[in-house]
Amino acid sequence: MNTLRALLSLLGLVAFASGARIYGKCDFEAEEDLCDLKGNHDFTQGNGRPSWNFDAMDSGYTGSGYLLLTGYNSESRLETPMLTASVGDEALNFAYFLNGDGEEDSYLRLYSIVDGVEGLIWEATSKENRWEYVSVALNVTAGHMFQVVWKARADRNIWTTRHTWLGLDSIEVVNEGGATKCFRPPPVQYANPWACSSKAQNVFRPDLKEELPDGTTCTTTCLSGFLAQGEPLLTCNNGKWIENDGVVFLCIDSEAPQFLTCPSAIDVSTPFGWGSMWYTITPPQVADNTNAWDLEVGVGGAEGVLVLQLFVDDVQQAGTTMTAAISPGTYNVKFVATDYNFNVNTCSYTITVTSGDLNPPTVIECPNSQTVESASPIVVGWTEPIFSDDSGYIAKVESTYDPTSVMAWGRHDVIYTAYDNSSNTATCSFSVTVRGVPCNSLSLPIFGALVCHDSYSGRFCVSMCGAEGDFQVSSPELTVPNDYLCSTSGSWFPYEFIYNCVSAYGESPIKGPEYYFSGPCNETDTQNAMKSQALTVFNVADVDPILGDGLTPDDFYVTCGPRF
């Protein structure tokens, strides 16, 4: 095996070789070969073999040579020869084992002596039942001499059987100066320029395109408004830039577009005499941190295209500029800006349109209300109202009826509404009442009463008797009608004759109980009962619905007959 001293003598021969240049490597496989490692130490060569103690290094290192510290309870010092740094990025690689019961009194420390100054550069922290491999940067300026020293102590107590195992293996001093260099890494979009450094030099000039030595690391940061994906770290490895953990570093846009202009609430008025006005909505100015905003591509949503959309009252418009005739009212305007990475911002405001003409039209002429009598539906007719407006123009007139409308029996409210161009209104209202032809008045039954309901299309009556007497029917062929109905033609059905209540009551009354009342006819309680009875008769009678629907007792009235 080549010794460390022999390898050092080859340093000049390998200075321009490709890949890592080796100062020296000791793997302690050859018997009694310590690679010219010196110092006051108690290290001896050992070989891995099965061990009775699972804490020992042998059981996990079978078949390989290493250095074993066999001097206990005192410090051992292991030194390399004096070396010269050729590049300035020298590093020391080695393996160590430190385990056992006396760990608190045991240690392994690494020192460098540069230009005669000794300094601690590493100390073992892992004390477990396994070999650990470490690489320690020596930080020696190119051309300067240095030496590496291990200081070790292993504790052993024969009385308590406490024992610490401490070993070293695969010691190697290397540098990367002979490896292929890397050109400065290309810039990352939306990131600051790379800042690169190595053990031999520090480079912070982003405009340089120089070659950088193997082992150089470069870092950067994302510009404001961008989030980092991956770690911003590159390492030059034999001519290639290697990402940390193989993840490509990117700067992702996380900032929404900004509206440079966004109107507040807008108030406008229509011209005098106009019901609407032309208005144009124009897009606000938009900027994005990618400096890629283009309003010309504002419609749609193609992938990779910045988008600006216009909504009016939550309805998307075909473009970002809209010209339309708008009437008085409030309109909600919203612009939505979306960038490449789907960051979204909105600009919202309202447009309030008021009328420039607040004066309503004037009613010049308006017909009076009228009442007519007819046996059938009729066209009443009237002179239509007249309106005027200070704008000189009536836009439209609406009405609930017109003079040619056919009107049935009842009250009809006729309303004319006039509008000017600004939607101001004036109304003309009157009523037209159509009644059926009136019937002759029925005679009142002696000792009885009539309970009636009046409507525009006629009258419905029920004849009732009191306690003084039953209906006087002069012939068995005659019957007392259930009700009397006056139609729109002015005739009573079935006839006009009313039976007086002067007959003595027999074993049973002539009519059913709803045709009789008890108590004085002119008393309120008596009349309320009579109205309810009449409603019962009305509900089962075969009458035209135009007489009324959904009646109550209060829709009837009582007229008491004479009492002699």
* Under 8 Å between Cβ of 465 and 471: yes
362-435 shares the fold of 258-354: yes
The model's pLDDT over 178-216, given as tens digits with 9 standing for 90+, comes to 556 777 788 898 899 888 886 544 444 444 445 677 778
CATH code of domain 182-253: 2.10.70.10
pLDDT at res. 138: 86
SS3 of residue 190 by DSSP: coil
* HEC readout, 212-263: ECCCCEEECCECCCEEEECCCEEEEECCEEEEHHHCCCEEEECCCCEECCCC
Residues 6+ apart with CB under 8 A from 441: none
Q: Which CATH fold topology does 4-175 show?
A: Jelly Rolls (2.60.120)
Q: Does domain 258-354 have CATH number 2.60.40?
A: yes
The model's pLDDT over 505-551, given as tens digits with 9 standing for 90+, comes to 988 999 999 999 999 999 999 999 999 999 999 999 988 777 888 89
The model's pLDDT over 73-109, given as tens digits with 9 standing for 90+, comes to 889 999 988 888 877 778 888 888 888 776 677 899 9
pLDDT at res. 423: 85
> Rounded to 5 degrees, what angle do the CA atoms 236, 240, 246 make?
85
- 84-110 in b/e form (b: 16+ CB < 10 A) is ebbbbbbbbebbbbbbbbbbeebbbeb
Tokens 């310590």 correspond to: 34
Domain spans, the chain:
4-175, 182-253, 258-354, 362-435, 448-560
User: 0.75 exceeded by the pTM?
Assistant: no
**Residue 8 in this model has a pLDDT that exceeds 50:** no
Q: Does domain 362-435 have CATH number 3.40.50.10420?
A: no
* Under 8 Å between Cβ of 37 and 114: no
pLDDT at res. 58: 53
**Residue 1 in this model has a pLDDT that exceeds 60:** no
